[in-house]
A = this chain, B = another copy of it.
Amino acid sequence: MRRKVYVEGVPFTEVVLSDGNEPVRLYDTSGPGSDPEVGLPPLRAPWRSGRTQLASARAGVVTPEMAFVAIREGVEPELVRAEIAAGRAVLPANRNHPESEPMVIGSRFLVKVNANIGTSAVTSSVAEEVDKMTWATRWGADTVMDLSTGPRIHETREAIIRNAPVPIGTVPIYQALEKVNGDPLQLTWELFRDTVLEQAEQGVDYMTVHAGVLLPYVPLTAERVTGIVSRGGSIMAAWCLARHEENFLYTNFDELCRIFAEYDITFSLGDGLRPGSIADANDEAQFAELRTLGELTHRAWEHDVQVMVEGPGHVPMHKIKENVDLQVELCGGAPFYTLGPLTTDVAPAYDHITSAIGAAMIGMFGTAMLCYVTPKEHLGLPNRDDVKAGMIAYKIAAHAADLAKGHPGAQEWDDALSKARFEFRWEDQFELALDPETARAYHDETLPAAPAKTAHFCSMCGPKFCSMRISHEIRQRGMQEKSAEFVESGGRVYLPLTS
């Protein structure tokens, strides 16, 4: 059985187990639940402060938000404060989004997953997008990005934020472009700034800004197999090149920092020149932009503004580590936030898998947040099922990375599930699964009867061939004693045994 519990106000999913086994507590992103017409209660309203989380951390103050995430992560509050103060972690929390439950993004903490949603010109309604956001957090989304384009963009975002228990990210250039009817050349700094202010007032917690796409870098993409694949990146590249001017996001970066500081908005420095194919991975264009993102990271920190840095994209496995190492070096340890990366280009319709491989690896190397990829990537807009498929693949990648990094407590979940499996506690195994419904349904397909849920074997091998049943019998035959005898005798195991 699963139930929601609160520890000093911090939510967890508690999995209650049978046979006297200790319950297991899992990280819970689903929020308290809301009536979409009313929105969520303003949890953080009483905690408001005049400082950003970064300024507080630097001043040695553990904010209520930091205390909350310390409980959530199972670590000391001082670790949270110190990592935020050093810029190695961010706690995205716009003052105007008091409904969100605090969370932290940084390499010392659990690896996080972002889900992208959003209306487009032709599909989706406001209600559908709110439902997709709720659905994503139900499957473990730690943050959600609203990438809406098309009409009703303000209204959609308002509904999402008022109902979101997790931080909401946006890419303001999309809305700015709508305001000039889709012509990048009509974009101006003033128009962009006003769009940022509009979204800041609504409570957007972090914003992707493609301030690293500089005029001299654009020609570096000319020989690429897939050119520029970031929407924001291509918009800014077109602007720079057509006007022969430097990117206005770069030239006005300090003013942008002052706005972000006022609301405590976190930068997500966009990688507008990220590779869109295996052939283009780790090329000059990508790394030139990364150097500029490093420079901008340090400038934002001067304004007490929190920063994440976005990363690729499409990268073959042997080139993944270089991305993390370089990002850590150039960006002073600011959290890395990557899209996958996809480890091959040949499997459209399965890019949640091609990219889960890269995501797990880049997470192991220190990436703090993974942006999910759904099966519809490159092909169409994700529906509800695609959102779930993407989330599950990425929760797997994130948890595999937590295990590989030795995150305290991460393996308890695996151990509890494996112990349930070995002891034929089928119901416990299902309840501990990332997706209990599907695990149960698959078991039912071959052995639907209720007694099968307590059987000491399963449909795969049947009773005769069940290795786990035989293992239990071996134990009952006094294995434990034999084991002790064996150890006492000096253990011949490692001597070469020649015939």
Contacts and interface: CB of A to CB of B under 8 A. Distances in A.
Contacts of A438: 349-350
A334 B230 CA distance: 44
A496 interface: yes
A474 interface: yes
A217 interface: yes
Nearest to A471: B227
Interface centre among A238, A288, A442 (most CB of B within 10 A): A442
A400 B354 contact: yes
Contact of A317 (B360, B421, B458, B483): B360
Given A225-B418, A317-B361, A344-B399, 15 more contacts: A149-B462, A182-B465, A227-B472, A231-B461, A234-B467, A237-B471, A237-B474, A276-B422, A277-B421, A278-B415, A288-B493, A295-B497, A349-B435, A350-B435, A356-B357
A149 B464 contact: yes
A218 B474 contact: yes
A23 interface: no
A221 interface: yes
Nearest to A299: B499
A396 B355 CA distance: 10
13 contacts: A219-B483, A221-B474, A227-B475, A233-B467, A241-B474, A254-B499, A278-B403, A288-B493, A348-B433, A348-B442, A353-B396, A379-B458, A380-B458
A79 interface: no
Contacts of A442: 348-349, 375-376, 379-380
B149 A465 contact: yes
Contacts of A333: none
A41 B143 CA distance: 57
Interface in A462-499: 462, 464-468, 470-475, 477, 479-480, 482-483, 485-486, 492-494, 496-499
A59 B380 CA distance: 56
A284 interface: yes
Nearest to A445: B380
By secondary structure, the A interface counts as helix
Interface string A103-118: 0000000000000000
Contacts of A474: 218, 221, 227-228, 234, 237-238, 241
A96 to B, nearest CB: 27
A223 B483 contact: yes
A403 B317 contact: yes
B234 A439 contact: no
A84 B485 CA distance: 43
Given A229-B468, A381-B459, A216 B346 contact: no
Interface string A205-216: 000000000101
> Nearest 5 pairs between A and B by C-beta?
A227-B471, A277-B418, A219-B483, A182-B464, A234-B467
A184 interface: yes
Contacts of A347: 392, 395-396, 433-435
B317 A446 contact: no
A304 B234 CA distance: 60
B278 A225 contact: no
A397 to B, nearest CB: 7
A80 interface: no
Interface in A275-290: 276-279, 284, 288
B277 A121 contact: no
A290 to B, nearest CB: 11
Contacts of A411: 278-279
A413 B465 CA distance: 42
A414 B278 CA distance: 7
A462 B122 contact: yes
Given A461-B149, A470-B184, A413 B346 contact: yes
A375 B482 CA distance: 37
A166 interface: no
B344 A396 contact: yes
Contacts of A221: 471, 474, 479
Interface in A345-390: 345-350, 352-354, 356-357, 360-361, 364, 375-376, 378-381, 383
Contacts of A337: none
A419 interface: yes
Nearest to A174: B465
